[in-house]
Copies of this chain bind each other. A is one copy, B any other.
Amino acid sequence: MGDLDIRTAVAEDIPAIVGMLADDPLGAQREAPDDLAPYLGALERISADPNQHLVVAVRGGRLVGTLQLTVIPGLSRRGATRSIIEGVRIHADERGSGLGTLFIEWAIDESRRQGCQLVQLTSDASRIDAHRFYERLGFTASHVGFKLEI
């Protein structure tokens, strides 16, 4: 399998990241891998914000996963800082390999290093396997996640 490296994403990673975002039942309808300009613009906004950590998992020189960790200082829970995990994708060839577990455990450890007391994420109600996966990692499905397109 080779060693796994988790590092900050750079512009050269964008085609492979967008490929993973689109290779998904929900992502296929939302992404446009034939036009990378909006993604490169977004990477600039992400890279300019020290509380955003867009990372890739690399094995044997190949991108096999991506996720974005956002650190959010807040007042509630006695001034707790929380992290939010978004945009988790594991390459189709690596699903079931344990990479997802390693990757989310990395995100939890990184949240701790960033001073967070809480990690949170939302998962589309249709992703039943993902829900089981997060519960196995210790997450509690305590909330309802609402979205509004504007």
Query: Which residues in A have some Cβ–Cβ distance to B below 8 Å?
Result: 14, 17-18, 21, 27, 30-32, 35, 38-43, 45-46, 49, 51-52, 54, 66, 68, 70, 72-81, 84, 86-87, 108, 111-112, 116-125, 131, 134-135, 137-150
Within 8 Å by CB of A74, from B42, B125, B142, B145, lies B42
Apart from A30-B77, A111-B150, A122-B145, 11 more pairs, CB < 8 Å: A40-B79, A42-B74, A43-B79, A45-B81, A52-B72, A52-B73, A76-B86, A119-B148, A140-B146, A141-B145, A145-B145
Asked if A134 and B119 make an inter-chain contact with CB atoms under 8 angstroms apart, the answer reads no
C-alpha spacing A39/B75, complex, angstroms? 6
A114 to chain B, nearest CB (A): 11
Asked if A39 and B78 make an inter-chain contact with CB atoms under 8 angstroms apart, the answer reads yes
C-alpha spacing A12/B17, complex, angstroms? 45
Q: Counting chain B CB atoms within 10 Å of each CB, which of A52, A79, A121 scores highest?
A: A79
Known contacts A54-B75, A143-B145, A150-B108; A120/B118 CB under 8 A: no
A4 to chain B, nearest CB (A): 21
Residues of B within 8 A of A52 (CB): 72-73
- What residue in chain B is nearest A71 (Cβ atoms)? B49
Known contacts A68-B74, A131-B144; A117/B31 CB under 8 A: no
